[in-house]
Chains A and B, each alone.
Chain A
Amino acid sequence: MTSNLIVFPIILPLITSILLILCYKRLYFRRYLSIASLFLQMYTIIVLTTQVIKENTLQVLYVGGWDAPYGIALTFDLLSGIMTGICVFLAIITLLYGFGYTPIKKEHLFKLPLFFFMIAGIQLSFITGDLFNLFVAFEILLIASFGLMSLESRSNHKKYTYPYVALNLVGSFVFLVTIAVTYRLLGTLNFADMGVRSHLLTSDPRLWVMGVMLIFVFGLKGAFFPLYYWLPKSYPILPTPTGAFYAAMLTKVGVYGMIRLFGTVLPHSLGTLHTLVLVLAIPTMLLGILSAFSKKSMRDILCFNLISHIGVIMMGLGLFTKESLTASLFYMIHHMLVIASLFLIAGLIIKMKGSDNIENIGSLWKTSPLLSGLFLIQGLSLSGLPPFSGFWPTIGLIREGLSQGSYILVFSLLASSLLTLLSMVHILFRGFWDTQSPNVQKPVPYFKPMVGVAGILVLVSLGLGLYPEPVLKLSHDATEMVLNQKAYQSQVLP
């Protein structure tokens, strides 16, 4: 069985980045090439996903022809399809937007190659079926993200890369320790094989330690409560297009890892671990959003909102039922689209007013109604209000939370939703409604296509809100596939 197509979402960006380094002189060609490569990648992902849906099984590729668990198996199921698809979609959107944002002469030569390396890392982590390979994938995306961050931020901001790097290096260290523990304990690194072997020792305390360490590793990537420190100071130093991509994708990789490992690999009976996630979800939801009120810059506020919504996703993860995971997955999809578009809107504001400090912008409600409309829609969407996309998973989460008796969680969810709304209203009042604010700079007419690109993203998320059924079904099917360990094992292990 050789479904080599699976490797293309990974290898295409890698090859693209080589080509991008090579033709460093042809600036326009680089841009066309990168977009073309992303579209090609999108095509392969669509083909793969339709195949998965049609056959209702996951696609497996044994790299090098070595059967699992000895070689590395790449697995592509519906969850991978959704995540990789959104990743490429957002990459296209943010790149196109970025082309308008940064003048072509000022774009750093290594920006595009590093961006593509990062995409390769992200896609690999969505596709791989091997724990150590996942580590490698994380390293690819992390170091690429370090590089991109220090490349793109302004010279006096580059130092803020350091906390990001340091915390993530600690995370990598713990990941290595976890791999050692896993290999010692289970004697294998393949997900399916890990699943088979861990079922034999569900009462072994060592499995719990392994689980907690995995929560640490993925929680650090996914910005769970006491581990999110790297996030709020690092994302805002990026230029907004890149920041939008980071905010949308990078934390989700950690969340994806949690879903994959707790759904597909580890036995579902490790309830204490789920409880740990639930316990961490509450402060993540509430503290994240509260900090948002102390910030003035729109991107800072969005970053703290992002943390709070990771808490919402964690809630679905911790409740760990099919419905709650479906809700989490849907929420994740919604959140990636919305947070990215809000970052892009912030970018437009920066272009227009020279700053995204909400005290300094003002009067946008009057001067640019289109932008205000986009912001209002996405702001309401972010807070989970109907009929926008965030609302549908919220229902599912409330339902599951109530039926499992986690009232505090439901309450925190609602509180965080209300607080998100307030923080959006905060931006709305200061940034859009107030007219007295002094402008830092004279307004600059922005590049029209950029609004179009941001508008596409808003439209997509609006569509998701108004007609959620297909995506809801998709995430339901994906969750079912993730939770069906028996099928996964029999598919991967020959």
Chain B
Amino acid sequence: MFHSIILYIVGRFLFVFINLAALYLLIRGHNAPGGGFIAGVTTALSFVFLTIISKSGDIKKLLIVDPIYVMITGLSIVYFLCLYPTFGFKAVLTHSQFTPLLFDVGIYMVVVGVIGSVMSAMIHNTEQLP
């Protein structure tokens, strides 16, 4: 869309930086402001940003996989975490040691997937139109 080589190089640098920040937000979410949703939106924003300044304008290429699959993986993690405690005869969604983080990761993936998909669809289709 707005392709320029300098912007793109800076963008790639920023992209890595933003994603590191997102990772940080994700991990510390349980103890400080942050968490899966915030991190997810951050990552998704970085992808959107990169897409807009990149040549092809396709998030799907950048993400390697279709964001829908990212979303489904995240959703599966969350639903699995819902059911997982029932095997140990605990109430649904009872958390143990690492599961809160995993839960956040699930949310993170869903958010990345959803925002990525909807943005890619909008960009893709608005370009296609006359």
Contact = CB atoms under 8 A, between A and B. Distances in A.
Direct contact of A and B (CB under 8 A): yes
Interface of A: 2, 4, 7, 11, 14-15, 18, 21-22, 61-65
Contacts of B85: 65
Interface string B61-105: 000000010001001100100110110011111110000000000
Contacts of A21: 68, 72
Interface residues of B, number: 16
B93 A64 contact: yes
B82 to A, nearest CB: 6
A180 B72 CA distance: 33
B90 A65 contact: yes
* Chain A to chain B: the 4 pairs with minimum beta-carbon distance, closest first: A65-B91, A65-B94, A64-B93, A4-B86
Given A21-B68, A62-B91, A64-B92, 19 more contacts: A2-B86, A2-B91, A4-B91, A4-B92, A11-B82, A11-B83, A11-B92, A14-B79, A15-B79, A18-B75, A18-B79, A21-B72, A22-B72, A61-B92, A63-B92, A63-B93, A64-B93, A64-B94, A64-B95
Contacts of B83: 11
Contacts of B94: 64-65
Contact of A7 (B68, B75, B82, B90): B82
B91 A11 contact: no
A2 B90 contact: yes
B93 A18 contact: no
Given A11-B79, A18-B76, A64 B68 contact: no
Contacts of B90: 2, 65
A21 B83 CA distance: 20
A61 B89 CA distance: 12
Contact of B91 (A18, A22, A64): A64
B97 to A, nearest CB: 15
Nearest to B68: A21
A2 B85 CA distance: 11
Contacts of B92: 4, 7, 11, 61, 63-64
- Chain A interface helix/strand/loop/mixed: helix
A15 B82 CA distance: 11
A15 B72 CA distance: 10
B82 A18 contact: no
23 contacts: A2-B86, A2-B90, A2-B91, A4-B86, A4-B91, A4-B92, A7-B82, A7-B92, A11-B79, A11-B83, A14-B79, A18-B72, A18-B75, A18-B76, A21-B68, A21-B72, A22-B72, A63-B92, A64-B91, A64-B92, A64-B94, A65-B85, A65-B91
A64 B94 CA distance: 4
Contacts of B86: 2, 4
Nearest to A72: B93
A11 B68 CA distance: 20
A61 B86 CA distance: 12
Q: Give the residue among B85, B93, B94 with the most A Cβ atoms within 10 A.
A: B93
Contacts of A63: 91-93
Nearest to B87: A4
Contacts of B95: 64
Nearest to B92: A7
Contacts of B68: 21
A231 B38 CA distance: 37
B118 to A, nearest CB: 13
Q: Give the residue among B68, B82, B85 with the most A Cβ atoms within 10 A.
A: B82
Contacts of A7: 82, 92
A472 to B, nearest CB: 34
A14 B75 CA distance: 9
Contacts of A14: 79
B4 to A, nearest CB: 37
A18 B86 CA distance: 20
A396 B49 CA distance: 64
Interface string B88-130: 0111111100000000000000000000000000000000000
B72 A61 contact: no
Q: Give the residue among A2, A4, A7, A14 with the most B Cβ atoms within 10 A.
A: A4
A18 B85 CA distance: 20
B77 to A, nearest CB: 11
Contacts of B82: 7, 11
Nearest to B95: A64
Contacts of B93: 63-64
Nearest to B83: A11
A4 B87 CA distance: 10
Contacts of A2: 86, 89-91
A2 B89 CA distance: 7
Nearest to A4: B86
A18 B77 CA distance: 11
B116 to A, nearest CB: 15
A14 B72 CA distance: 11
A62 B89 CA distance: 13
A14 B76 CA distance: 10
A123 to B, nearest CB: 14
Contacts of A15: 79
A11 B91 CA distance: 14
A119 to B, nearest CB: 15
A234 B90 CA distance: 43
B109 to A, nearest CB: 13
Q: Give the residue among B72, B75, B82, B91 with the most A Cβ atoms within 10 A.
A: B91
A61 B68 CA distance: 32
A14 B78 CA distance: 11
A366 B51 CA distance: 64
A2 B86 CA distance: 9
